[in-house]
Amino acid sequence: MRYISTRGGIAPIPFSEAVMMGLADDGGLLLPEKLPQATGEEIAVWRRLNYPDLAVAVLSHFIDDIPAADLERLVKKSYAAFQHPEVTPVVKQGQCHILELFHGPTLAFKDVALQLLGNLFEYLLAKSGGRMNIIGATSGDTGSAAIYGVRGKERINIFILHPHGRVSPIQEKQMTTVLDANVFNIAVKGTFDDGQAIVKKLFGDLNFKQQHQLGAINSINWARIVAQVVYYVYAALKLTGEGKAAQVDFAVPTGNFGDIFAGFVARRLLPKQIGQLILATNENNLLTRFVKDGDYSVSGVRPTSSPSMDIQVASNFERYLYYLNDQDAQRTRQEMEQFAATGSLQFDPARLQRIQQDFASQSADEAATKATIGDFYQSHDYLLDPHTAVGVYAGLACRRPEVPLVCLATAHPAKFGQAVEAAIGRPPELPPPLAALAKLESRCQVLPAEEQVIKDFVAQHAL
């Protein structure tokens, strides 16, 4: 399987190169030349596999340049870091099958992809003899999953900037109690946007980028998408088959469109077993407007109780646009350039019809999110985190009565204690890994929000 760019500007490359490239060199996003479909025989075999073995089988459709035994070792190592024997268990609660994606080391679904990505980076760098300095800015949640993905890895250092005093105590502790020598937490005296702007400048300085082999770990890396395809397949095969339902629908709390795009790829693999993909948004409902009205226009970001979905533009949207354009890279590039210039794309009725065949969508405002957490707790004695609650709300709104509804649970409720407390009147209990954080030693560098200061710090500590 080789990889091409949504903008058509690179020669096809193997998976390993796609992982190391991240963003395509022509500014587009990388995609497989052809999306695979599983055969009936394969599906019969897959139904009997545990999560890590299923992951190897699914990934093998997308990765043919890593020897099978190596891939198996990397996958097993990645998912051994999860607390639950099933890795991503499915639990029935009322009308929803909750797909719990939060059993990884930081209790967030991003672990599913970042554990594998960290191991892939280490493996590929060992092969090439290279090194990598990962730099990223976080508003709280992604940073810890990225840090846990690469802590202690050879040939990799990671620098994560967070806004000093502006992330929740749990989030701060999750990041700063990782004491491995290759992990550098930087608390920037400023906002998340200040940190983000500095990171962009460091990547924009091509000399600096080259000299220090800067790497990114954001959600546009293809390896992250493909790792997420696996749990859709896992849940779909668990709930369908002889004597069970024919197909299932998925409700997906969406921000940057990475997770739901993984669902789109999974449905190409299993077109019979996967039905509706329900794209759930919070008050930042750009993508719901896109699905309902064919209007993809930026507006300001409003902070909500589900911060990982507070996005202005969806960084993986271009991947779907490419398929909507019947893989016309020229048209995709033109439209993305138009979007960059005007902040808006409009879709005509013919394309809107296709979009609505591909996705259903519903947005949940803050009141609906809070009510969903409260109602779900009352009815099922089960706590949803606010991101998951947005998905459950949208899922129930778009539910087809005869089709099992799988709702993706993207974070453990204890990570968003304030929102949960506001909904049910008491804070959630902390699971042992979070309760233990308070007592752990932490390490963090506090620096001013100045490009040169951060640059000097990175240069001094880079591999």
Active site positions, annotated: 110
- With tokens 């407390």, the residue in question is 421
Nearer to ligand PLP by Cβ, of 87 and 419: the residue is 419
Three-state DSSP class for residue 302: coil
Closest CA to 365 of 437, 309, 442, 284: 284
* 405: its two tokens: 């509804």
State how beta strands 344-346 and 295-297 pair.
Answer: antiparallel
**Bridge partners, 345 (sequence order):** 296
Least distance (Å) between residue 89 CB and ligand PLP: 17
Least distance in Å: CB of 263 to ligand PLP?
10
| Complex with ligand PLP: residue 247 or 308, whichever CB lies closer | 308
The minimum distance between CB 404 and ligand PLP, in angstroms, equals 21
Residue 385 Cβ, how far from ligand PLP at the closest point, in Å? Answer: 7
| The pair of three-digit structure tokens given for residue 451, joined into one six-digit string | 């490009």
Q: Are 29 and 319 in contact (CB under 8 A)?
A: yes
Answer left, alpha or beta for residue 446, where phi above 0 means left and psi between -120 and 50 means alpha. beta
Query: Could you tell me the smallest distance in angstroms from the CB atom of residue 287 to ligand PLP?
Result: 9
Which tokens in the block code for residue 404? 């099992």
Provide DSSP, 156-178. Answer: EEEEEEEETT-S-HHHHHHHHT-
Q: What is the dihedral of CA 319, 324, 328, 330, to 10 degrees?
A: -70
- Identity of the residue, 61 or 110, whose beta carbon is nearer to ligand PLP in the bound complex: 110
Nearer to ligand PLP, 219 or 332 (CB): 219
15 or 416, CB closer to ligand PLP? 416
Nearer to ligand PLP, 32 or 307 (CB): 307
Q: At what angle do helices 141-150 and 169-176 cross, to 10 degrees?
A: 20
Least distance between ligand PLP and beta carbon 212 (Å)? 27
* Terminal CA-CA length for the chain: 32
Is the Cβ of residue 137 or residue 411 nearer to ligand PLP in the bound state?
A: 411
Residues that bind ligand PLP (CB under 6 A): 108-110, 141, 219, 253-259, 308-309, 387, 410-411
Q: How many CB atoms lie within 10 A of CB 290?
A: 25
Taking each helix axis as running N to C, give the angle between helix 258-269 and helix 222-239, from 0 to 180 degrees, rounded to the nearest 10. 60
| Cβ nearer to ligand PLP, comparing 6 with 219 | 219
Residue-by-residue DSSP string for 179-245: --TTEEEEEEES-HHHHHHHHHHHHH-HHHHHHTTEE--STT-HHHHHHHHHHHHHHHHHHBSTTSB
Q: Which of 110, 139, 412 is nearest to 301 (CA)?
A: 139
Calpha distance 352→339 (Å, rounded): 17
Q: Shortest gap between Cβ of 309 and ligand PLP (angstroms)? A: 5
Nearer to ligand PLP, 144 or 185 (CB): 144
Beta-carbon contacts of residue 169 (< 8 Å; ≥ 6 apart):
none
Cα gap 165→333, rounded to integer Å = 40
Q: How far is the CB of 406 from ligand PLP (least distance, A)?
A: 15
Query: What's the min distance (Å) between Cβ of 343 and ligand PLP?
Result: 20
- The tokens 């490419």 sit on which residue? 322
- 67-90 as b/e, with b when 16 or more CB fall inside 10 Å? eeeebbebbebbbebbeeeebbbb
